[in-house]
Structure formats: structure tokens, C-alpha cells
Structure 1
Amino acid sequence: MSGISIIGFAVGGAQLATGLGTLLALDPAEAAARNERIRCLTQQRRSRREALEAALAQAADERERLAQTFVRARVDAAGAAAALTAAGLPPEPGLTPPVDAPAVADWCGTVPGLVAAAHRRAATALADQTARRLSALLAEVSGGPLVDAAEVLAPAPVGPTPTPAPELGAVVARMLSTLDPRADGTDRAGVEAVAATLARRSDRAAHLVELRLRVQEANDRAARRYDDAVTAAQVLDAMTPYRPGHGLDPDRLDAVRAALAEVAAFRRDLDDGLLDQVAGLRAQVESRASAASLTDAVADVLGELGYLVGPDFSVGEAAEGRLEISHPGRPDHLVRMRVDGDDRQLVAMMYRADGPGDAGADTSAEAAWCGDLDRAVGRLADAGLAFTPIVLTDPGARPVPAVPGRDADEQGRTSHRYRDQHRPERS
């Protein structure tokens, strides 16, 4: 075989987990769990609560489950702290996440009570502030009781005449107190504007129903923002090991992380564009890991067949998925191989050292390489990696190109074990 040899391949889940563990310098199970959480949270976002439960179930062990609990607690605390700030109330010190890891579990246990108390304080304060701002308008309303929204929507009462309904100010204040304290400024202003129009409406009872619906819509949006904040915080946590060295554009990676942090802090929405960017980063990492996993497998098998396998520096620096392969028994020839993780292909080309060519030696080296490659493909197939030859060229069908400025002695010095020289250390 001479010239270009292209072989397609498939990488199973175990190989991908191994590749992700190697690329991200983590245990394979943890690396696979993190990427699966990213996939789950982005693809199932429209079923938010199911996605959050599924993400928790993907945790690799109890440490991961605690980490996810900590993520949710931080988001809850941040939302409660923002609500207190919006209401002009002093912060609650207990909502500040601990720095020391041993204190995390205890802090997570106290957060629900602190958050509930903070929400009650903020809701009451915000409702009182709004009612005071509206008091002048409501005072202009002529006397006579008004029914509230629940009474308007309820069936006609049967039996004794009910007690008089509360005055308008009390009804409005009670409705405003049900507004989620995490509602943003736009929603609060919209609710207050609807409440203010009560003084100018003759059909005030029906308008109270409109106010109730506006409050519910604002609460629904606040709940969605909370779910988005938890989703963003969990994705951000799962992306912790992602680095530019994993083939990711550093500016894009930083921008996505900053945007997710904004969502987790309730300062922006989690839109489809951001989800697409996250999915793109995950796909890049998995593609790189798949190529690395296959490259490792190929390097191992060729090493077992007596080849020296090292990184290919022909493009100026070692690149993921590029190998330089030689055999001590054929020092005048080498093979350069490129793994294409996206198209699931492997491209190999044989070269000879610079100097006078020997067509017979070239043909012999190509024939030996083809035979060994067939054996390598068979061994990999036995290990669960299926290779499908796409293009095969018979030995001697074309001249073997020379590597300018490269002699056999230099080739022997630069060929080495791929695994030992081209793998990141795990932390």
C-alpha cells in the first residue's frame, strides 16, 4: 500500500469515556458524567425540572451529588440575596456560601430555611412599598367595598350573605404580597402599573382579576428564571475542566462561561443561542476525546507490533490526532497518520528518508506496513473498535515521497512511545 490510506472507524461509549478522562485529566466516569450532564441540560431544557433531576442522577458518586446540591443551594441563596437587595433590606449573612469544603454540607442544609425567610421578608417589604406608592391613587376611589379576584372567579355563593368584602387598598396589598420577590424590575413595574389603573377604572372588580393574572405571569417568569439559573450553574460546574488546550477557542470559552455566570446570577436569560454555544463546546470536546481515544488505541496496537510511535511534528508542533510511525527494522521509512475525529476517518501516508530512492526497498516497506496495518485493524476489531478501509493502494503503485532534510538517524532519535510523551497528566 502506498500513498494515502483512509480507514473509517467507530468509537464506543467506553472508549469515549476513556478519551474524555484523558483529555480533561479526570476519572473517565466523572468526565463522561460531566459531558452527559451538559448534553442532558441543554437538550432537555424545555422540560426543565426533569432535566435537573436527570442531571442529578448522572452524578458519578456521592461527591458529585454533593457538588450538585451545592450548585443549587448557591443559586437559591443568590436569588434570595437579590430579592433582599431589591427590597432595600440588609443582607442575610447566612446566605454567603462557605469557602471551606467541610462546611458545605451543613450550609446546604440551612439554606432552604434562610431562603424562605428572606423571600417572606422581601415580599412583604416590596408589597408595602408598592402599596404606599399607590395609596394616594387608591384614596381617590369612592367609598364602597370591592370584591377581590378570587370572589369574582368563584361560583355564586349559596346560603347566608357573606361578610362585607375588604376595601380596595387591602385587596391590592394582599395581591401584591403574592408577587414573587425574585421578579425582576420590569415585571414589578408592570404589576404596579396595572394596580395603579384601578383608580381610573369603573370595572374595578374585573380589573382585580387582570392584576391577579399579571402577578401570576410575573411569578411564572421568575420561576423560569430560577430554573434557568440552576441549569446554567450546573452546566458551568460541569464545564469546569474545559480548557483551551482541549481544542477550544479561548475567547469563545470565556464568553460562554461569563454568559452562564450571568444567567446563574439572574442577570440575563438562558436563550437558545447560549445553549447552542454550550452544545458546540461539548461536541468539540467529545470529538477531540474520540480522536484521542482512537489515537491511543492505534498507538498501542502498533507498539505491540514492534513500531515506534510518536507525535507528528511535521506541521511545526505536535497536534492531537497526528502520529509519526516507524519500525526499527526499516529505519529508512516512516508513516505519518492523521485521525479525523469528526468524519471518523484515519489518513496514513508512507515517506522515506531524504536521499537516493530505492524503488525495491520502498515497495518492500509498503508491503510490510500494509500487512502490519491489517493485523492492527484485526486486533482493534477484536477490542471493539471497527475499522472500515475506504481507500487502499497497492504497494509500488506510486513513488514514495521523501521527507526533505530527514535522515534515518534523525528519525530514530525522534520516534518514541506516544502514550508516554503525548498525554496530559491527570490531576
Structure 2
Amino acid sequence: MSSGIDADIALDAAVVLSLGVARLAGAGAGLAGRGAEALAARAAGRAEARAAALAEVETHERALREAVERNARIDALAETRSKLGADVALPAAIGLDERSAAELTAWCAATDAVLDEAERHLSEHLAAQVSAQIFAVPAEGLETDTGQGAPPPRADDVREHLERIMARLLPDATEAERLAVAEAARLLADAATAAEAEGVLQEVRLRIQDANRRTRGRRDEERRLAAERDAAEQAVAERRYVLDSITTAFEDLGYEVQAGFETLTAEDGSVTLTKGAWPDHSVRMRVDDAAHVRASMVRERPAESEDDRRLDVEREEEWCSAFESARERLAAAGIRSDVGWRLEPGVRELPVSASARQTRGRVGQRERSRERHK
């Protein structure tokens, strides 16, 4: 990059936490009150006040994340309840906006016990369903004297034992996993002795263990994917915050900030800075992942004289001064910047913007075409 600046940027913890609070709660973008207090305290050098404000924001964000997890669990259990056709009460999901950390934490603690109980009831409902299917018709093997001296298993005892084992099956096991367990349990119908029945029940235990292992694996994977989505959403929020802060800082300094269409989705972090007194110059700036910023001054048409080149140096000096002023404004907004590379004014000839080169190329083609047709 010629005639430009390359800097690493980092967001203050107050900004990061506050963006998380605003995003999780569905509130508008920007700093939450305590985050703003933390930044102000940092600027004033009041360490204790800053620590207290940060701790409050961090507590609020943590409470929001835990509430989001409980809401997701409620949704998952409601889906399982619908699939099983069970009549099991579930708590309502909590609204996150304008809830204090204390309210969210208390709700999570109370809800955990209710959700554990609901999951237990769903497992028992599933166990009763499978047991009812197996014992709907009296089994021929159970309670039938084999004449071999071994006492036959009692149907009531076997059914009670089966339901107790089946209740361990997690309610959100897949349909295929439930069928595999049920297939093993149906073998009880042919068990002629207590030993055979116990062998079948042991197979049921093993299949339940396998189903539960897979189910917990899926839960872990869902949590991992949810964490990835959360991190991606946070990254977008941070990038948006940096772009908005840069836009505000340079607009306050008299620049016009133009963003490409893609910037509206935070997919592209490029902006162009112009001024009314700069007909031939602009600054192209790009923010990468809210962690790096590159800026380069360009010409909108090629320099044609020494006066143009002297003007280039003046514009570069003006831009460098503006960048330092913008850094101070960004620091006040919680965005620290460390310049790693800078090209001083006048060291190199300013590059010509791509759009200007394309326009110049089209003009040249038209001129050559006219020459050929003379």
C-alpha cells in the first residue's frame, strides 16, 4: 500500500461486553450505560469506578447468555413434547430486554429444576409408551410354566423393571434410537425364564446407554454450533461498531464517508473518504475483522504537473493530521489503534484509483477508434 497507513485496532473490554449485552437482549446497537461509564472512568483514570462498571456489564452479559441457553432448552423440550404427544408442563421462555442480571440469574436457577423435572416426566412418558406397546398383548413366554423347573418371570415385575430402565432414555433421542431400544425390549415377549428376561433387559440397558451417548454428543455439537454462531454475530457487531465509529469520527472532521452496498451487511469493511475541497483526491479505508485498518490516499485522475504533485503532498499532510485526530476520537469510543506502518507524505507518487484508470482506458479506446475511422 502506498501513501497510506496500516494499524492494528482493539476494542476496549467495555465495548465488547456492551455489544454482547445489546445483541443478546435484542436492544439497539451502541454502548450500554455501564459500558459508557467504564470508558469514562478509564479516561478519567478512576480505576475502581471502571472495575465496578466492567464487573456489572460482565455479570449482565453472563446472565443473558445463561438465560438464552435456558430458552433454547425450553424450545427443545417443547419440540420433544410435541413429538411424544405428552402432557408435560414447561415454563415460558423469558424475555431478555430490560431484565436485570439479578432477575435473569434468579429465573435461571428456578427454571433449571423445572426443566429437569419436565425432562424426567418426558422420559417416563416415553418409557410408558414403549412398555404399553410391548405388553398390550399378553406375552406367551412370560408367566408360562416351561416344565423345566425354572420359574417363569412375572409380567408385572418385568414391566416395572422395563419402565424403570426405559426412564433413563433421554427424551430427545432420535426416532431411530427409540426404535432400536423398543426392538430389544420386544424380545421380552419370548423370554421363558427370569434369566432370559434379564438378558433382554441388559440388552435394553446397553442400547439406552448407546442412545444417550449419541444424544449427549448431539447436544454438545448443538452447543458448539450455537457458540460459533454467537461468536460470528459478536464479530459482526464489533465490526459494525468500528465502521460506525470511524464514520462518525471522520464526518465530525468534515469528511464525507461513502460505504459500498456490501458494507451494509458488514461483509465488506471498505469506506471511501472525500471532501468538497478535494476534487482530485480520496482516501480508501478498509477494516478487517474489527482488528486491522488500512488506509490509502489515491488520486481520481493522474497527476500531470509539478503543481499537482505539490498538491498531493499537501493533501497527504492534511490527511495524516486528520487521521491522528480521528485516532483520539476513536480512543474515546473504546477503539485503540497501534500504527504498525506509515508512509510519510511525498515519499511516493499517489496511485490513481481503479475507477479513474477504467475511465481513462475507455476514453483512450474511443480516441483510438476515432483515429482509425478518420
Tell me the distance in 2 between the aligned counterparts of 1:314 and 1:114: 46
User: Which position in structure 2 is the counterpart of 1:352?
Assistant: 299
Q: Is the 8 A contact 1:292 1:320 kept in 2?
A: no
User: Which position in structure 1 is the counterpart of 2:135?
Assistant: 131
**How far does residue 334 in structure 1 lie from its aligned partner after superposition?**
0.8
AA in 2 matched with 1:351: V
- Out of 154, 157, 162, the position equivalent to 1:171 is 157
**How far does residue 329 in structure 1 lie from its aligned partner after superposition?**
4.0
User: Which position in structure 2 is the counterpart of 1:188?
Assistant: 182
AA in 2 matched with 1:185: L
User: Which position in structure 1 is the counterpart of 2:362?
Assistant: none
AA in 2 matched with 1:395: P
Equivalent residue runs for 1:61-140 within 5 Å = 71-84=72-85, 123-132=127-136, 135-138=139-142, 139=144
**How far does residue 325 in structure 1 lie from its aligned partner after superposition?**
0.8
Q: Is the 8 A contact 2:312 2:346 kept in 1?
A: yes
1:310 aligns with 2:258: yes
Specify the SS of the correspondent of 2:161.
helix
Tell me the distance in 2 between the aligned counterparts of 1:197 and 1:57: 57
User: Which position in structure 1 is the counterpart of 2:318?
Assistant: 368
When residues 328 and 198 of structure 1 are mapped into structure 2, their CA distance, relative to the original with a 3 A threshold, is: same
Tell me the distance in 2 between the aligned counterparts of 1:129 and 1:219: 17
**How far does residue 286 in structure 1 lie from its aligned partner after superposition?**
2.6
Tell me the distance in 2 between the aligned counterparts of 1:177 and 1:30: 54
Specify the SS of the correspondent of 1:330.
coil
Larger RCO (CA under 8 A, 6+ residues apart): 1
When residues 82 and 402 of structure 1 are mapped into structure 2, their CA distance, relative to the original with a 3 A threshold, is: closer
Tell me the distance in 2 between the aligned counterparts of 1:314 and 1:15: 24
CA offsets 1:285-315 (integer angstroms, 9 cap, x no match): 3322222211222222222322222214799
When residues 303 and 114 of structure 1 are mapped into structure 2, their CA distance, relative to the original with a 3 A threshold, is: closer
Q: Alignment length, in residue pairs? A: 301
**How far does residue 76 in structure 1 lie from its aligned partner after superposition?**
3.3
Q: Is the 8 A contact 1:4 1:393 kept in 2?
A: yes
Tell me the distance in 1 between the aligned counterparts of 2:271 and 2:64: 33
Q: Is the 8 A contact 1:301 1:376 kept in 2?
A: yes
**How far does residue 403 in structure 1 lie from its aligned partner after superposition?**
3.1
- Out of 355, 369, 388, the position equivalent to 2:338 is 388
Q: TM-score of the superposition, structure 2-length normalised?
A: 0.61
**How far does residue 339 in structure 1 lie from its aligned partner after superposition?**
0.3
Tell me the distance in 2 between the aligned counterparts of 1:398 and 1:307: 24
Tell me the distance in 2 between the aligned counterparts of 1:278 and 1:387: 31
User: Which position in structure 1 is the counterpart of 2:26?
Assistant: 26
Specify the SS of the correspondent of 2:348.
coil
Tell me the distance in 1 between the aligned counterparts of 2:240 and 2:163: 57
CA offsets 1:381-420 (integer angstroms, 9 cap, x no match): 34432211122111111111223666xxxxxxxxxxxxxx
User: Which position in structure 1 is the counterpart of 2:50?
Assistant: none
Tell me the distance in 1 between the aligned counterparts of 2:251 and 2:260: 16
When residues 210 and 391 of structure 1 are mapped into structure 2, their CA distance, relative to the original with a 3 A threshold, is: farther
State, as a whole percentage, how many aligned pairs show the same letter.
23
Tell me the distance in 1 between the aligned counterparts of 2:245 and 2:292: 14
When residues 128 and 30 of structure 1 are mapped into structure 2, their CA distance, relative to the original with a 3 A threshold, is: farther
Pairwise CA RMSD: 4.8
When residues 227 and 76 of structure 1 are mapped into structure 2, their CA distance, relative to the original with a 3 A threshold, is: farther
When residues 71 and 277 of structure 1 are mapped into structure 2, their CA distance, relative to the original with a 3 A threshold, is: closer
Higher mean Cα deviation, 215-224 or 294-303? 215-224
Q: Is the 8 A contact 2:12 2:335 kept in 1?
A: yes
1:340 aligns with 2:326: no
1:377 aligns with 2:371: no
**How far does residue 335 in structure 1 lie from its aligned partner after superposition?**
0.2
Unpaired runs of 5+ residues, structure 1, are 33-55, 85-90, 102-107, 147-165, 229-268, 407-427
Tell me the distance in 1 between the aligned counterparts of 2:226 and 2:120: 32
AA in 2 matched with 1:298: I
CA offsets 1:311-347 (integer angstroms, 9 cap, x no match): 14799x99642111123443431101000017x2111
